[in-house]
C-alpha cells in the first residue's frame, strides 16, 4: 500500500535537551528527554513502535542513538570537543541505522551547532528545522506528509 510505503521512508533526528527525567536506572532516550521539542516527537510516535524505530536522538554525550537506547540522566553541553567526536562517529551509526530502517527523507530538529556536528546526511531530502519550538506546524506538516500518526 502506498501509504505504508511512505510511512517507512522518514527519519527524525532530534537533538537532546537540558530537561531530563531524573532516574535511578537507565531509560529509553526518548523517554529521558522531557523538554524542548522532544514531547512533540514522542507524542507522534508513542503508539507506533515502527515509527519510534525511525527516531534518533543526537546527544552531546552519547552521539547518535536510537529512541530506545537506554541511558541515564547526564549533563553535557555540545562543546567543540564533543562536536568533533560526534562528527567522527555519527556517519557510521547513521549508516548502520539506515541499513535496518531505510529512509528517503530526514527531519532534523536541532540547533545549528548540532546540525554541524551531525554533518550531511546521505538521503535525497533533508528538512532542517533549527527553531522547532516556533515551528510546530512545519514539523507536523512533514510528519503528516509521511503518513506518521
pLDDT, tens only, 15-33: 999 999 998 899 999 999 9
- 104 neighbors 6 (Cβ within 8 angstroms): no
Residue 6 has pLDDT above 70, yes or no: no
| pLDDT(141) > 50 | yes
Domain count, the chain: 1
Model confidence at 4: pLDDT above 60: no
Percent of the chain with pLDDT over 90: 83
DSSP state of 132: G
Assess if residue 1 is contained within a domain. no
Dihedral class, residue 63 (left if φ above 0, else alpha if ψ from -120 to 50, else beta): left
Cβ 9 vs Cβ 146: under 8 Å: yes
123 close to 11: Cβ distance less than 8 angstroms: yes
Give 75-114 pLDDT, tens digit per residue. 998 999 999 999 999 999 999 999 999 999 999 999 999 9
Tell whether 2 is covered by a domain: no
User: Region 119-135: what's the mean pLDDT?
Assistant: 94
Residue position matching grid coordinates 521539542:
37
The 3-state DSSP class for residue 139 equals: helix
How would residue 59 be classed by pLDDT, with cut points 50, 70 and 90? very high
Query: According to the model, what pLDDT value does residue 47 have?
Result: 79
Q: Are 28 and 42 in contact (CB under 8 A)?
A: no
- Residue 14, in any domain of the structure: yes
* 63 contacts 85 by C-beta, under 8 angstroms: yes
Mean pLDDT, all residues of the chain: 91
pLDDT > 70 in the chain, percent: 95
Domain for residue 34, yes or no? yes
Q: Is residue 30 part of a domain?
A: yes
d(CA 105, CA 140): 15
Q: Which domain holds residue 54?
A: 9-145
Cell numbers for 5: 510505503
Is 132 among the domain residues?
A: yes
- pTM of the predicted structure, to 2 decimals: 0.91
State whether residue 58 is helix, strand or coil: strand
- Per the domain annotation, does 4 fall within a domain? no
Amino acid at each position: 500500500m502506498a501509504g505504508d510505503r511512505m510511512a517507512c521512508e522518514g527519519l527524525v533526528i532530534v537533538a537532546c535537551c537540558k530537561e531530563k527525567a531524573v532516574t535511578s536506572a537507565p531509560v529509553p532516550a526518548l523517554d529521558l528527554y522531557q523538554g524542548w521539542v522532544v514531547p512533540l516527537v514522542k507524542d507522534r510516535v508513542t503508539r507506533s513502535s515502527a515509527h519510534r524505530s525511525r527516531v534518533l536522538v543526537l546527544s552531546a554525550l552519547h552521539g547518535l542513538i536510537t529512541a530506545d537506547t537506554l541511558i541515564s540522566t547526564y549533563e553535557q553541553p555540545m562543546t567543540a570537543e564533543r562536536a568533533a567526536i560526534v562528527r567522527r562517529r555519527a556517519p557510521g551509526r547513521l549508516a548502520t541505522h539506515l541499513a535496518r530502517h531505510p529512509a528517503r527523507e530526514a527531519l532534523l530538529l536541532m540547533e545549528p551547532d548540532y546540525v554541524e556536528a551531525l554533518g550531511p546526511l546521505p538521503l535525497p531530502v533533508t528538512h532542517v528545522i533549527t527553531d522547532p519550538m516556533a515551528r510546530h506546524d512545519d514539523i507536523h506538516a512533514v510528519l503528516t506528509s509521511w503518513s506518521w500518526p
